[in-house]
Structure 1
Amino acid sequence: MPLVLAATPIGDPRDASPRLGLELAGADVVAAEDTRRLRRLAGELGVELPGRIVSYHEHNEASRTPDLLEAVTKGERVVLVTDAGMPSVSDPGYRLVRACADADQPVTCVPGPSAVLMALALSGLPVDRFCFEGFLPRKAGERRRLIEDVATERRTMVFFEAPHRIAASLEDMAQLLGPDRPGAVCRELTKTYEEVRRGGLSELAEWAAEGVKGEITIVVGGAEATTVSIEDAVAEVIARHDHSSRLKDVCAAVATTTGHGKKALYDAVVAHRRDHSD
């Protein structure tokens, strides 16, 4: 019997598929990120849970994976659910999928709601090519480094963020990606107070400064293609750099508008200054 990754509603329980109820009712083992939420969802769906219920979350994922793999290997039907959405996507599940794959055990999915795809569809931004970056780092320095790393990404980007950090994250994005870079903040998707705010990153940061609540997904437009040469980009950095700013910060800012990688631009500036130091 396979391991079954079962997607759960991201807000509205009416989004649950009939197959989700069938899988929960027919499971020998249900591994849940939060067993109380699982029981509440089962009650809303009118589903009995005859199988064994175990917790499976970020704090016990490593230790519990061998037991669940053993259950799958013995022929038990193991269904894995998280609090919302698809297991293993910014949620527990990767370790168990990897363990089953390594042991040549079958794995399948019950498809369902996705905050990533819903936010993309509602954003009004191009969705022919996109990338998912997961949760932004909690620490400011790490968050800024990640944003700098994706500054020249051409695809539309999707991020998860906590409500108490959304304002700071949008401010960093506006500074490092450009104040007019288009974006959308999608919160409480499928819930009563669902809201989508669209605009430039600076505009969104100003809105978020007043306080934002709920589950949040950020969608940011990709960098536009440019024809600025590396020589012109270097000249812009040199013109903008003074002793009150760090060279790396100036390079990062210029990189967002010229399409060059920040490290490549920094190295080119250093080389230019070395060659013209005499």
Structure 2
Amino acid sequence: MERATKHPRDRVPEPMVMDDVEGVRAFHEAAQDVQMPIYEFNASMMSRLVPEGGRVLDLGSGSGQLAAHLAAGRPDLTVTCVDLSEPMLETGRAMADKRSLDTVEFVAGDVTSLDDAVVGRPDLVSCNWTLHQLPDRDTTVAALTQIAAIRREHGSAVWLFDFARMRRDATMRALMEVFTPGAGPQLRKDALASEAAAWTRDEMREMLTAAGLDDLHESYDRVLETYQVWWAPGERAADAPTWGQPSISRDAAKVAQLITGAQTDLPAADG
């Protein structure tokens, strides 16, 4: 039914900042099971774009679970997590303290208007599961223009990952029943809202062009096009070390492999 539906449904924006305490808690706690395949996929691919001893600027990082997973697989990296949600930042800082993640820092910042002190000189600028939270096209183009400016000035690699809005709202509900049956009601509600707020690939392509990022590689899953990735190598990523593969459950590893295998165009393992 999804492929037979010709036109995407209307986008339904969601709040730009996730500061609901219950939503933050559900999102953070889902990392070790429900969301781990996504973190494994993103972290392992991002690793291919960052040289040894490099720095990652993760925009819209949330509570930093992805950054923590990246740091576990690449302890040589430093990661700056940027988010507008103070509850997310507080949760992330507490996690970093508990896990002794000295290479991960959390900074308050607006992805559409970043201070030079926050940006620094990143080898990779990433944005994962964030662009769908921006309220409209102009705000999203502003965020992408910031990323383009960072790339242009510092030769940074770029990695953008998000949902792609489905044509039918029933499709996402069905996928969650199959792949994330353990998701609690709050996480399920937030995930469905995020997918409904996501940009289609055509919408993303137009906004990337407007922002000066029209040369990025485009990748999407071949089955239902649930996820979309836009990426480009940086100037200093040819010698990216091998991904350290943190310990995750067998089920999470299998799903991560499925996600990776379904994608159309990803960074090469040799950088």
* TM norm. shorter chain > 0.5: no
Larger C-alpha radius of gyration, 1 or 2? 1
Q: Which has the higher contact order (CA 8 A, sep 6+)?
A: 2
Normalized against structure 2, the TM-score is what?
0.32
TM superposition score normalised by structure 1: 0.31
